[in-house]
Amino acid sequence: MDFKTIISSLDNFKKFIPIILILLTFFILISIVIYARNKRTKKIKEIAESKGYKFTLKSNEIDKRFHLDFLEISFNTRFKNIVEFKQKNHKVLICDYIYSVGRSSRTQTIAIITNFKAPDFNLTIENSRNRLWDKFSNEDIDFEDDELFSYNFRLISEYEKRTRNFFDSSLRQFLLNHKQDYKMKNNNLMIYKYYKVIPFKEFEEYLITLNEIIARFEKDQVELY
């Protein structure tokens, strides 16, 4: 092989360097994502099992008691990192809920807690679009004596009087300190944040918060009924 041929080969190779670098970068990024996911799963499993909770890596379905009121189940719905346990007379399920939005998929951590006595309601973190809509509708249940809560949350319910009684001042303050979306239906409660996946470093604290929420909602149901 003469010198000109070597130079020509090197020039041809240089053309592929950007593609090689892109592929290498892509491979490294995918490896990092997979490593992070596996590490999170391992840590959540360790935390769950250390507390005597049931852990399931993944499933295409969960107990119907946990999803009939809340989730749309389709052929490509999946559940991962499923943690189940009992707290007093409540069954608790925590999992990563994976579902489709158009051609893409979304993942968020959800918690479903059964067996409360409370009116059906949908409490979501307020946003600018909802605030604009609420100016032209009477859906949002506002509290005139609690502007901070009304500004931060949108509360919808068919049972306004019972819902107002349920959301007393102490519960409203508690929820301001634990800002998430809450949906109560048929005495079951779902808690989530859109597209929010709980990091493993926050998972143990998340379990503590759920137990606090259970205790707080129990207090209101006793007072209400």
Closest by Cα among 117, 167, 109 to 141: 167
Per the structure, how many domains does the chain have? 1
Alpha helices in the chain (DSSP H): 3-50, 64-67, 128-134, 147-152, 160-166, 169-176, 200-224
Sheet harboring 121-125: ordered strands across?
54-59, 78-87, 90-101, 104-113, 188-192, 181-185, 121-125, 153-156
**What is the predicted pLDDT for the residue at 14?**
66
Q: Which residues contact 20 (CB under 8 A, 6 or more apart)?
A: none
Is 1 contained in some domain? Answer: no
Is 159 contained in some domain? Answer: yes
Domain with 143 in it: 54-224
**What is the predicted pLDDT for the residue at 173?**
95
**What is the predicted pLDDT for the residue at 27?**
82
Task: Provide block-wise average pLDDT over 10 residues at a time, the chain (225 residues).
Answer: 55 69 82 86 96 90 68 78 92 91 85 92 81 63 90 92 92 94 93 91 95 87 52
Is 75 contained in some domain? Answer: yes
**What is the predicted pLDDT for the residue at 22?**
80
**What is the predicted pLDDT for the residue at 25?**
84
Is 144 contained in some domain? Answer: yes
Is 150 contained in some domain? Answer: yes
**What is the predicted pLDDT for the residue at 34?**
82
Is 48 contained in some domain? Answer: no
Cβ atoms of 197 and 98 closer than 8 Å: no
Is 20 contained in some domain? Answer: no
Is 180 contained in some domain? Answer: yes
Q: Which residues contact 121 (CB under 8 A, 6 or more apart)?
A: 155, 156, 157, 159, 163, 166, 182, 183, 184
d(CA 72, CA 67): 8
